[in-house]
Chain A
Amino acid sequence: MNGVSVKKADIAVLPQDNAGSEEKRLGFWLTLPAQCLVLFIAVFPILMQLYISMTDWSPLDGIPWYRAYELWIGFINYTDLASDSRFWAAMWRTFLVMIVCVPIQFLLGLGLAVLFVDEFPGKRWFYSTLLIPMMVVPAVAGYMFFLLFQSGGPVNDLLSLFSASPVKIAWLSDPSLALVAVMAADIWQWTPLMFLILLAGMISVPQDQQMAAVLLGASWGRRFFTIVLPRMKTIIIIALAIRTIEIFKIFDTLYIMTGGGPGVATETISVYIYKVTQQDLIWGYVAAIALAILIVLSVISAIAISKMSKGANAR
């Protein structure tokens, strides 16, 4: 009998089934306004874009955007996009900047992080100096590099020191060199961010594991490649993903340096969109381009996130 009464007491203490679902329902109602707001902020612009991209709407047509269905053209914008050589050329240029700049920024950042992970005299001073480029407004950085790369500018002056005759390279007006100048500006400005993220990751690699590796006879290189780098995997993926996505959006520095020119030699995807939006005013088409880029970036992010969660599971 005693046992039975104990059981009864236990049941009374347990939360009852419908009490639990009651609580859930209350929670749902309480968070509903916030959830609607988030949904509205995140999803509405995308849906609007999707809608506009199915039309031939432009602000000059004289009808408000919500009546754009009057100009419904279905997937024509997308089929046009597929055969738009200027779009694909801009995509390719963006991709080129990405595959040149991201690895260089990564290797420079990693090298700097290796130097800065140990103490040395003047470290704080060097550290602050290194971070300055990151804090410069991109438009200002663009203007700085515009001046640096003039044919009578400091870059050519510097190169002249190492050559017999004065160097007069027209960096920004030579279609094959303008993109190099743009890449140099991006590397200058964004290597510090890479360095900062990688340094944070390197500092968080457990010291005792590194010590354990050394005590087992590991050389510096072995310790670095078997302990430090693998343990930084997650942070490396984050750093690479941030820079990859940011380079897709490269605009202000570049626009000030070259305006996308000469011709279309430095026209990346953002510059192309800007031109189509502001100069050609075909907004339905712009919406289609933007959605296409959104899809590309989402795929990049999804790959990064899945790699990251794998890395996290391995810990």
Chain B
Amino acid sequence: MTQIALSNLGKKFGSFTALAQMNLTIGDGEFVALLGPSGCGKSTTMNMIAGMVDPTEGDIRFDDRSILDVPMSRRGVGFVFQNYAIFTHMSVRENLAYGLRAQGVSASERNRRVNAMADLLQLTPMLDRRAAGLSVNILQRLAIGRSAVVEPAIFLLDEPLSNVDAAFRSVMRSELKALQRQFSQTLVYVTHDQLEAMTMADRIAVMDHGKLLQVGTPLEIYNNPQDVFVARFIGSPGMNILEGTIASSDEGKLVDLASAGRSAPLALSDRAASQGLPEKVLFGFRPEQVNPDPNGIMALPVNFVERIGARTILHLGGDGIEAKAVLDNQIAMPSIGDILRFSIDPKMVRLFDPVSGIAIGGDI
């Protein structure tokens, strides 16, 4: 049970900056997912916490104690590798006992703890089997058990589900979340799969190109992305971002979206109103927020209709504009070439600065 604090953490490989200015505090017993595309620096961050990679800048503290000088075998970090790194030449029992043996725990104590862990993870029936050839969910439990049995201060999981086929992932996700509740351990989880992050994590840290872009609960990240990258990355499909120009009307400010029409008058937060708006903005809305409306003031031609069962994704666009709409199948579906007229609830509109990509006014 440990709090992890990363301050100004950075890593350069030669002239390449893998991570810069990472500031993140992970609370005691919290489940935090580091989410981002490959090459965003999430694994580098994780490896630095574990001690496999030394940072070139900044500090890592466990409970206010810097651990940069602590070698990785003493950090008390439970690490679950992408392919679990099970010692397949040993039995399940030998795998579970490995850490205890390395730390010189007495045989009777070792047996007691291994048996208790096997019991907890339902590994007892296969304790004396060789670890080679076990199924992937058992390997996952074994990998977690092997780390958990030495009672590490924190758990680090490096994309543990990326080798699992899609059908099995949801089973593994719920199992993993249940295990984390049982151990109530601080847990950092690296993934590029937003579904894993959204469903399991208490908080998500979205990263891109070695930068931490936003930290928040899954719903905060989904509803109020602080950055245009986060907006596009989270959600499937991600948020629509259209270029627009601020215009004024009798009812207040609105956004002129060129060939897509114009938005309803904006419901600006006090902060955005006081901040003032730039002339050009990026106009963001979730595909799920598209309301087909024959009197809607926005309109885009339908390019492609993608049916995915309960819902249908419409690919809209033209004149350099691209957007998607997710509609329930209940409504009459337009066909390719039709013009879809729609409206967006002003409360659901998010504006971003076209230069910096940062959300304007924060929460609207």
Q: Show the binding face of A for B, using Cβ within 8 Å.
A: 206, 208-209, 211-219, 222, 226-227, 230-231, 233, 314-315
B99 and A217 contact, CB distance less than 8 A: yes
Known contacts A211-B52, A211-B79: A315-B132 contact under CB 8 Å: yes
A231 and B81 contact, CB distance less than 8 A: no
Q: How far is the CB of B187 from chain A (nearest CB, A)?
A: 15
A215 and B73 contact, CB distance less than 8 A: yes
Q: Given the complex of chains A and B, what is the CA–CA distance between A315 and B147 in angstroms?
A: 22
Q: Given the complex of chains A and B, what is the CA–CA distance between A206 and B83 in angstroms?
A: 11
Nearest B-chain residue to A210, judged by Cβ:
B85
Q: Can you list 7 residue pairs at the A/B interface with Cβ under 8 Å?
A: A209-B86, A215-B75, A216-B73, A217-B103, A218-B102, A226-B98, A315-B132
Q: Show the binding face of B for A, using Cβ within 8 Å.
A: 50-52, 72-75, 77-79, 81-83, 85-89, 98-99, 101-103, 130, 132, 146-147, 150
B residues near A206, Cβ cutoff 8 Å? 85
Q: Given the complex of chains A and B, what is the CA–CA distance between A75 and B146 in angstroms?
A: 63
Nearest B-chain residue to A208, judged by Cβ:
B85
Contact of A314 among B52, B83, B86, B130 (CB under 8 A): B130
Q: Given the complex of chains A and B, what is the CA–CA distance between A285 and B15 in angstroms?
A: 73
Q: How far is the CB of B82 from chain A (nearest CB, A)?
A: 8
A residues near B102, Cβ cutoff 8 Å? 213, 216-219, 222
A residues near B85, Cβ cutoff 8 Å? 206, 208-209, 211-212
A residues near B147, Cβ cutoff 8 Å? 215-216
Q: How far is the CB of B189 from chain A (nearest CB, A)?
A: 16
B72 and A216 contact, CB distance less than 8 A: no
A217 and B73 contact, CB distance less than 8 A: yes
B98 and A215 contact, CB distance less than 8 A: no
A residues near B73, Cβ cutoff 8 Å? 214-219
Known contacts A215-B73, A216-B150: A231-B98 contact under CB 8 Å: no
B50 and A215 contact, CB distance less than 8 A: yes
Q: How far is the CB of A202 from chain B (nearest CB, A)?
A: 15
Q: Given the complex of chains A and B, what is the CA–CA distance between A230 and B90 in angstroms?
A: 9
B89 and A231 contact, CB distance less than 8 A: yes
Q: Given the complex of chains A and B, what is the CA–CA distance between A230 and B87 in angstroms?
A: 10
Q: Given the complex of chains A and B, what is the CA–CA distance between A215 and B146 in angstroms?
A: 11
Q: Given the complex of chains A and B, what is the CA–CA distance between A13 and B72 in angstroms?
A: 60
B residues near A217, Cβ cutoff 8 Å? 73-74, 99, 102-103, 150
A residues near B78, Cβ cutoff 8 Å? 215
Known contacts A211-B79, A216-B99, A219-B73: A315-B150 contact under CB 8 Å: no
Q: How far is the CB of A49 from chain B (nearest CB, A)?
A: 42
Q: Given the complex of chains A and B, what is the CA–CA distance between A230 and B98 in angstroms?
A: 14
A215 and B77 contact, CB distance less than 8 A: yes
